[in-house]
Structure 1
Amino acid sequence: MILGYARVSTDEQNLDAQTDALTAAGAERIFADKISGATRERPELAKLIDHARGGDVIVVTKYDRLARSLHDLLEIVEAIKAKGAGFRSLAEDIDTTTPAGRLIFHVFASIAQFERERISERTREGLDAARRRGRVGGRPPALTPAQAIEVRRMRDEEGRHLTEIAHLFKVSVKTIRRV
């Protein structure tokens, strides 16, 4: 049996393109999650793996619909394999029911993981370089140092409530608490 799995990250996104492609690929049943790929608990994916039997093939439109990291992808495909089923990704033309497909799967997964790690590394390097030049990342403070002193004075000397101070400075109570 061919079983399909579709996933989008948010409720606002649409599964139609994936389900159409999976149906065209022969999927007799499609399991679909609307949840981030980084989330380990995906109810429909769990049902799919539980439902899989020997000889079944689990199909996705792209392998990043199944997992966001190499570790997770390999773990999920291993769980599929343990059920006696195969894995197929339409976009990457990967089919783990063949030796060549298994080789290609591992090569693609390794390249994807390498690229994610390089992006992360370049981002860290850029942030470090900016810090060395005196730049500080993040949002600018909501209050100036002089305003922060006034906030403390109003609270300590005048005994004003945090909500009132926040209203006067047009900031959230949380900002006033941080000061």
Structure 2
Amino acid sequence: MLLGYARVSTDDQKLDLQFDALKAAGCEQIFSDKSGGAVNARPGLEEIFKYIRSGDTLVVWKLDRLGRTVKGLVDLVEDLQKRGAQFRSLTDSIDTSTPGGRLFFHIMAAMAQMEKELIRERTQAGLAAAKARGRTGGRKKVMDDSKVAAAKKLLEAGTPATEVAKNLGIGRATLYRAISA
């Protein structure tokens, strides 16, 4: 039996493309998740592993829909093989029922991991370059030094923290963080 698995990373993405491809490939049942690949809690994938039997094949539209790391992908495929099941990726033309398919799976998984690491490396380099130019990421500070000083004076004068925060247009937690820094 062919069992399909589809996953999107965010709630605003659609599973339609993957569902259509999995149905066209002959999947009798399709499981799905809406969560990032790095997230460990994937109920749809867990359900497949409760359901899959020897002789079944887990089919995905693309390799990265199953996992994000080489180790994670290899572990999943090894778990399938221990159960007597196989794995197939439609767009990557991977089919672990053959020796060549298993080799190609490992090569593609390694390439996907390398691509992920290169993206991370480029992102870190870009952040470092921006930092060197004096730009920092994150939100702009709401409380400058003069506001912090004014807030401290008001608090010392006995003004309630809720009122001070309201007058400054910030939350109480932000006020406390600013004055303790």
Native 8 Å contact 2:64 2:112 kept in 1: no
- Show the counterpart of 1:31: 31
SS for the counterpart of 2:87 is: strand
Q: Does 1:57 align with 2:66?
A: no
Please tell me the root mean square deviation across aligned C-alpha atoms, in Å.
1.5
Distance 1:10 1:160 in 2: 44
- Where does residue 8 of structure 1 map in the other structure? 8
Alignment of 1:11-160 (within 5 A): 11-155=11-155, 157-160=156-159
Q: How many angstroms apart in 2 are the aligned matches of 1:137 and 1:36? A: 23
Question: What's the offset of the Cα at 1:113?
Answer: 0.6
Q: CA deviation at 1:28?
A: 0.8
CA distance in 1, matches of 2:79, 2:44: 15
Give the Å deviation of 1:12.
Answer: 3.3
**Deviations for 1:132-177, whole angstroms, at most 9, x for unmatched residues?**
343333222112111111111111x222222211211112222212
Distance 2:134 2:177 in 1: 24
The 2-side partners of 1:9 and 1:129 are apart by: 29
Q: In the TM superposition, what is the alpha-carbon distance from 1:49 to its structure 2 partner?
A: 1.5
> How far apart, in 2, do the equivalents of 1:12 and 1:138 lie?
24
- Structure 1 residues 35 and 137: CA distance shift in structure 2, 3 A: closer
**Distance in 2, Cα, partners of 1:37 & 1:123:** 19
Tell me whether 123-132 or 53-62 shows the greater mean CA deviation. Answer: 123-132
Gaps of 5+ in 2: none
TM-score by length of 2: 0.90
Of residues 137-146 and 106-115 in structure 1, the stretch that sits farther from structure 2 once superposed is 137-146
Tell me by how many angstroms 1:96 deviates.
0.9
Shift in Å at residue 126 of structure 1?
Answer: 2.4
- State the one-letter code of the partner of 2:64: D
2:176 aligned partner: 177
**TM-score, normalisation: structure 1:** 0.91
SS at match of 2:151: helix
Give the whole-Å Cα distance in 1 for the aligned partners of 2:26 and 2:48.
16
- Cα distance between partner residues in 1 of 2:149 and 2:70: 50
- What does the per-residue CA deviation read over 1:116-142, in whole Å, with 9 as the maximum and x for residues that have no partner? 111212222222233334333322211
| 159-168 or 94-103, which deviates more | 159-168
Query: 1:52 offset after TM fit, Å?
Result: 1.3
SS at match of 1:37: coil
Judge conservation of contact 2:55–2:85 (CA < 8 Å) in 1.
yes
Distance in 1 of aligned mates of 2:81 and 2:63: 15
Question: 2 CA distance for matches of 1:69 and 1:82?
Answer: 20
